[in-house]
With several copies, the nearest count.
Chain A
Amino acid sequence: MSRQLNYVMAIREALFQAMQADPSLFMIGENMRAGIRPESRGLFQEFGDDRVIDMPISEAAFTGFATGAALAGGRVIVEYQVSSLIFPAFDQLVNQVAKLPYMLGGQRFLPVTFLIMGAGAGGGRAGQHSDNPYPYFLHAGIKTVFPTTPGDAKGLMLAAIAEDDPVAVFAPVGVYGTSGPVPEERIAMLLGQGVVRRAGTDVTVVAGGPHALQAVALAETLKEEGISLEVWDPLSLLPLDKAGLEASVNKTGRLVIYDDSNRTCGFAAEVAGLAAERCFHALKAPIKRVTRADVVIPYSAPIEAELLPTPNRLEAAVRAVLG
């Protein structure tokens, strides 16, 4: 699988192959027909206007529309062009589609995939276009993946579409520019499987998306000093590979979580809580969280940078847990 592909192109390939493979699958979102966004470019031309539908700026209604289509036996992909667009649709997400199968006593499950583009901060996207809101979905019990490499993007996008439950795919802007090996075939990865991006023995760093790549880079630097970082990437935030997390932390005895969602009740808090219960006896040092500050992301570069998790802060935390 030496074929190299860009991250967003990998998502696009997954969408094309999934639509080809399942004629009952359709996709809704905003401004797809004109194909200004690379992930959906050409989809409309390929699959036509009854399978690729441009929606009005009605996030709540078109989310419920997808739910109703699924209740009627359809399979649907819903695209939100910016991560904060889940907020106008929030009731239809956390209070409707996420709850209906259970409230209905399992009469039907709802195969709806939520593709959330533009997740995360960077480049002055400011207060309403920089959120990484996956913790809201995790708290609501919505299955959620956070692909790091182009290969993950294709494999997890396909996995999300294959699932018979609502699954959210968060695509972090920080890796849009990256390329990597992506299999040509339509092969879904598995939910609930983390990956050791880099093996190490002294400290476990839990990180996904661009932050996983930064952690691996830091690991290379610290190697010089004989510090051995293990970088564990969850990839699937819900279900979470708790066994994989536990194995890594039990091995290293030290845990730093490096995550770009808000700190309070964020993903890092959940990981810390898990480790503090499951790995307590193996822990040699306090668990450290290196996260986004609980502050709105500002526009101006120096203050934006100040509020985001950085490799320097990760390094400081690593050194701190090494005592």
Chain B
Amino acid sequence: MPDADKQSLDTDAALYRRMRLLRRFEEMAGDLVRGGEIQSAVHDYIGQEAVAVGVCAALGPDDVITSTHRGHGHILAKGGDPARMLAELLGRESGYNKGRGGSMHIADLDLGIFGANGIVGAGAPMACGAAFMFKTRGESHVAVPFFGDGAMNQGVLLESFNLAVMLHLPVVFVCENNGYAVTTPIGEVLKGSILERAAGFGLAVEAADGMDVRAVRATAERAVARAREGGGPSFLEFGTCRYSVHNISAGAAWQDERAEAELADARGRDPIDRLAREMLAEGLWSPEDRTRIDAEVESELEGGLGFARNSRRPDPESAYDFMYARLYPGLPARGTDS
């Protein structure tokens, strides 16, 4: 478990540090994929760091998020422990999900991380349900479902917009618009405006530059504050860019058709460099500070990777555990018994 101060994102340096952590975590995950230590799909978050970190900077430990197939960034931003995440990616018993979940299902309910999800849009109604519990318990917590532009066409998400408005729930929907669903440009499958679609459900909507972590944080803070005060649900759209292919494990085969220019332009607006530049210009830190923080991030990740690699894989016999809270004779059925 990362210690409390590691979790707080209330300084710009903390924002930088966290974004750097997200970036380097994914680069490390990429190395593990290329090195063969991870066989499965990995949808990396590189380029989108400002969204998760900016939004989570507006959240407290008791607020809840739901995530997507591209979940590492959200989980780290909400305070997830890179060591236990890496252990999960390596299929270790010490991983967040005891090796049961892998990249697309990492969760830490204690940190309000209700889990990545392999099905587009599926987490949103769960965020509404959590928000409903907060409301009926008189708690001022907020639930934040993250999802991509492609999810805007999935029925269960659209139904969730209505549920949140109808029950006036403390939900802040966060759409990460990186412009593509795998290889399909959002403009080809969603004509018109994402914001107008959400507004049509009665959600308060706002958009901001998803490559500018401070803008994201400011926007999220407004929406979260309103939700906390009983002002109801809102919808935020952040334009961003995924630098890599959709699924780095698929590799070059999945190289999408995005023009190099498009990627170059995005890299030119890189959210991490941008914040670093601004902080320097504003005299908030020195190059040395940045170097120090980068080094801390490296050692945290190195330590995490060591922890993961040194952890053991789950014992085969344990494969049947956790299917049910209460077991019965013959339940769950094994593949050979009757």
Whether chain A touches chain B in the assembled complex (some CB pair under 8 Å): yes
- Please list the residues of chain A having a beta carbon within 8 angstroms of any beta carbon in chain B: 26, 30-31, 33-34, 36, 50, 53-58, 60-74, 76, 84, 87-88, 91-92, 95-96, 100-109, 111, 123-129, 141, 143, 163-165, 191-192, 238-240, 242-243, 263-264, 273-274, 277-278, 288-296, 298-309, 313, 316-317
B336 A316 Cβ-Cβ under 8 A: yes
A58 B154 Cβ-Cβ under 8 A: yes
A57 B120 Cβ-Cβ under 8 A: yes
Known: A56-B150, A126-B101. A62 touches B336 (CB 8 A): no
The chain A residue with its CB closest to the CB of B88 is: A299
Contacting A at CB under 8 A, from B232-286, are: 246, 250, 253-257
* A137 CA / B254 CA spacing, docked (Å): 30
Q: Closest Cβ of chain A: how far from B256's Cβ, in Å?
A: 6
A61 B156 Cβ-Cβ under 8 A: yes
Q: Closest Cβ of chain A: how far from B335's Cβ, in Å?
A: 4
B321 A36 Cβ-Cβ under 8 A: no
List 16 A–B pairs whose Cβ atoms lie within 8 Å, in order of A's numbering.
Answer: A56-B163, A57-B151, A60-B155, A64-B160, A65-B125, A65-B163, A68-B130, A88-B155, A104-B115, A105-B96, A106-B322, A141-B332, A240-B330, A263-B335, A288-B338, A303-B314
Known: A34-B183, A68-B127. A295 touches B104 (CB 8 A): no
The chain B residue with its CB closest to the CB of A74 is: B133
Q: Closest Cβ of chain B: how far from A308's Cβ, in Å?
A: 7
Q: Closest Cβ of chain A: how far from B318's Cβ, in Å?
A: 7
Query: Quick one: which of B182, B316, B335 contacts A302, CB cutoff 8 A?
Result: B316
**Selected interface stretch from B1-9, B15-23, B184-192, B205-213:** B184-192
A57 B114 Cβ-Cβ under 8 A: no
B107 A104 Cβ-Cβ under 8 A: yes
B173 in the interface (beta carbon within 8 A): no
Given A68-B128, A124-B39, A296-B100; 11 other pairs, CB 8 A cutoff? A50-B136, A54-B189, A87-B119, A105-B99, A108-B109, A127-B101, A191-B328, A239-B328, A291-B335, A302-B314, A302-B315
B151 A300 Cβ-Cβ under 8 A: no
**Residues 88-131 of chain B, each 1 if its beta carbon lies under 8 Å from chain A, else 0:** 10011001111111111101111000110111111111111111
* A111 CA / B325 CA spacing, docked (Å): 9
A61 B319 Cβ-Cβ under 8 A: no
B35 in the interface (beta carbon within 8 A): no
Known: A34-B257, A71-B109, A165-B325. A104 touches B119 (CB 8 A): no
A104 B100 Cβ-Cβ under 8 A: yes
Known: A61-B159, A141-B323, A289-B338. A107 touches B107 (CB 8 A): yes
Q: Closest Cβ of chain A: how far from B315's Cβ, in Å?
A: 7
A95 B119 Cβ-Cβ under 8 A: yes
Residues of B close to A298: CB separation below 8 A = 99-102, 314, 319
Known: A56-B153, A294-B332, A306-B316. A300 touches B129 (CB 8 A): no
B25 in the interface (beta carbon within 8 A): no
* A296 CA / B104 CA spacing, docked (Å): 14
B323 A192 Cβ-Cβ under 8 A: no
Residues of A close to B99: CB separation below 8 A = 105, 298-300, 303
Q: Closest Cβ of chain A: how far from B67's Cβ, in Å?
A: 12
Residues of A close to B159: CB separation below 8 A = 56, 58, 60-62
Query: Quick one: which of B129, B162, B325 contacts A101, CB cutoff 8 A?
Result: B325
Residues of A close to B146: CB separation below 8 A = none
* A317 CA / B316 CA spacing, docked (Å): 20
Contacting A at CB under 8 A, from B61-111, are: 64, 66, 88, 91-92, 95-105, 107-110
Query: Quick one: which of A30, A278, A300 contacts B314, CB cutoff 8 A?
Result: A300
A34 B256 Cβ-Cβ under 8 A: yes
A34 B40 Cβ-Cβ under 8 A: no
B166 in the interface (beta carbon within 8 A): yes
B154 A238 Cβ-Cβ under 8 A: no
B101 A67 Cβ-Cβ under 8 A: no
* A145 CA / B293 CA spacing, docked (Å): 57
Residues of A close to B122: CB separation below 8 A = 64, 91-92, 95-96
Residues of B close to A63: CB separation below 8 A = 125
Query: Quick one: which of A101, A102, A129, A317 contacts B336, CB cutoff 8 A?
Result: A317
B335 A58 Cβ-Cβ under 8 A: no
Q: Closest Cβ of chain A: how far from B66's Cβ, in Å?
A: 8
Residues of A close to B136: CB separation below 8 A = 26, 50
B101 A299 Cβ-Cβ under 8 A: yes
The chain B residue with its CB closest to the CB of A246 is: B338
B132 in the interface (beta carbon within 8 A): yes
Query: Quick one: which of B98, B156, B331 contacts A88, CB cutoff 8 A?
Result: B156
B331 A31 Cβ-Cβ under 8 A: no
Q: Closest Cβ of chain B: how far from A115's Cβ, in Å?
A: 17
Q: Closest Cβ of chain B: how far from A67's Cβ, in Å?
A: 5
Residues of B close to A87: CB separation below 8 A = 119
* A48 CA / B337 CA spacing, docked (Å): 47
* A311 CA / B100 CA spacing, docked (Å): 23
Residues of B close to A141: CB separation below 8 A = 323, 332
Residues of A close to B288: CB separation below 8 A = none
Residues of A close to B88: CB separation below 8 A = 299
